[in-house]
Amino acid sequence: MRYFKEGIIYLFVGVGIGSFISLLSFTLYQGTPSIKQFLLLMTMSAIMGLLSLIYELDNMAFVTQLISHLILEMLTYGFFIWLTFGSVMIALTNIPTFIISYVIIFVVFRKQGQANARRINAKLADKKRE
């Protein structure tokens, strides 16, 4: 049940991030996605969000989780970009953009996690002093 609840959260976060990046991309290139493209991009975003459940596995080292997540995300991205736009070249030429986006999102979530850990530790320290 734990993974189901977290999976739903990760799914919606993935769709949110994917929607933002897709909207930004289409806006920058002044394009309009078809319904099929939109549905494929949102499906890709949902799957990519679910792949983040790999970070919840306690029996894997963080570096292994990170490398596995990056590879799975890149494969998902490549596959769905190929399905969406019908060209492998588009997926291949967008790999640098994917890597940059991945690093930015990773840093933001990592900083958020560290800030949450500091906040929780501070509250625990306050309770211990009481």
Alpha helix (H) residue ranges in the chain: 2-28, 35-51, 62-85, 88-93, 95-129
- How far is residue 92 from each of residues 6, 19, 63, 71, 80, measured CA to CA in Å? 31, 21, 25, 14, 12
The per-residue pLDDT string of the chain (130 residues; one tens digit each, 9 = 90 and over) reads: 777 888 888 888 888 888 887 777 777 777 777 888 888 888 888 998 889 888 888 888 988 998 999 999 889 888 888 887 787 888 888 888 888 888 998 899 889 989 998 999 988 888 887 7
Q: Which of 107, 51, 40 is nearest to 74 (CA)?
A: 51
Q: Give the predicted TM-score (pTM) of the model.
A: 0.76
Residue type for position 95:
I
